[in-house]
Amino acid sequence: MPRLSVNEIRSRFEKSKEFNEIFDAFEQAIEQRIDDIELYRLLFWNPSLTPDEIGLFGEKLAREFPAVAYDAYMWLANVFEVMHSMVDNHGLALQYYKKAAEARPDSPEPYLDAADCYEPDLKIPPLGMLIEFLKQGSQRVVEPKVFYEKLAEFYDMDGNDEMSGYYRRLAGGEGTPGEETT
C-alpha cells in the first residue's frame, strides 16, 4: 500500500465508513510516528466506528505514545459520554476517565468530568463507583474542596446524610480527611 499523507489519513479518519480503510490509515499514522492528538480526535468521533473499535484505536494510541495517553483517554471518555448513548456507554466513559486519572493522577479533570457525566434519572454510571473515584481523586489533587462538595452532593442523592454532612464540613474547611465514619 502506498504511504498516505497526513491529509489523506485525516480524511480517512474523518470521512471513511469502512473499518479496514480506517485501520490501514491508523496503522500508517502509528508507523509514521504521528502523535498529534488533534488528528486522532477525528478518528474517535467517526460515527461509523463501534465503541469497541474506538477503544481499540485509543488503547493502541496510548500504548504507542505515552505522552498523549492522558489526552487520548480524556477524549475517549468524552466520546463515550455523548455518543452511543442508545447502548449506555456511561460505564465506558467512566472507565476512560479512570485511565486518564492513572496517566495524570493529580489532574482534577478526569474525576470532575466523570462526576459531571452522572445521569441521576438513569442512575448511571453507578453512584457508588463515582463516589469511590472522587474519594481517590480527593487524595491526589492539590485542591480537594470541589471534590468534597461533589461527594457531599452525591451522598445526599444516595440518602446518606451523615456522609453528606461530613464532606460538607470538609468542603468548609472543618475536619480532616480520614475521620469519616462510613
Q: What is the DSSP string of 59-105?
A: HHHHHH-GGGHHHHHHHHHHHHHHSSGGG--HHHHHHHHHHHHHHST
Q: Residue 9 in 3-state DSSP?
A: helix
Give pLDDT tens digits along the chain (182 positions).
689 999 999 999 999 999 999 999 999 999 999 999 999 999 999 999 998 999 999 999 999 999 999 999 999 999 998 875 555 678 889 999 999 999 999 999 999 999 998 888 888 889 999 999 999 999 999 999 999 999 999 999 999 999 999 999 999 977 666 555 44
Domains of the chain with CATH codes: 6-142 (1.25.40)
139: cell is: 487524595
